Structure 1
Amino acid sequence: MKELIEFIAKSLVEHPEAVSVVEEQGEDGTVLVKLVAAQDDMGRIIGKQGRTAKAMRTLLNAKATRENLRATLQIVE
């Protein structure tokens, strides 16, 4: 799941070397994916009215569902 979010984020931004994705396991079995990018690329990651971020969350949930997991995406500013 980390690779999926990392690929999407690096494809969107102007500074792909600044993109960092960390995957953490929660106590209740959920997967937390944290995305960090350069400050000037945050607009591209989030998108107009959050549409890009919402689409990334939808894809993450679809992949997690196929693996019988629950996942959340946190965009760290």
Structure 2
Amino acid sequence: MKELVQFLAQQLVNDPSAVDVKETQGDTASVLELRVAKEDLGRVIGKQGRTAKSIRTILNAVASRTNRKVVLEIVEDR
């Protein structure tokens, strides 16, 4: 799933080399932290969060096949 988020984010942003995804596995859930360049943050989130919601929907569809939960966190670097 990490690769899926990385691929989707790289297609959306202007600086694909700045995309970084970290995965933390739990017993039944995984947490994915997505970091992008500061100027690309708006592209990943989208208007009113629509793009982020779409990415989360795709992730949940993939995760439901393996009976897991996935949480996507879009992290802003300072």
Please indicate the TM-score interval, normalised by the length of the shorter structure.
Answer: over 0.9
Identity across the alignment (%): 55
Instruction: List alignment gaps of at least 5 residues for structure 2.
Output: none
**Which residue is equivalent to 2:39?**
40
C-alpha RMSD of matched pairs (Å): 0.7
**Which residue is equivalent to 2:19?**
19
Q: How does the TM-score come out when normalised to structure 1?
A: 0.95
Q: Aligned equivalents of 1:54 and 1:9: distance in 2? A: 13
**Which residue is equivalent to 1:9?**
9
| Superposed structure 1 runs of 4+ greater than 2 Å apart | none
Equivalent position SS for 1:14: coil
Instruction: List alignment gaps of at least 5 residues for structure 1.
Output: none
Q: Aligned equivalents of 1:20 and 1:67: distance in 2? A: 24
Q: Aligned equivalents of 1:65 and 1:72: distance in 2? A: 12
Counting matched residue pairs gives: 76
Q: How does the TM-score come out when normalised to structure 2?
A: 0.94
Letter paired with 1:23? E
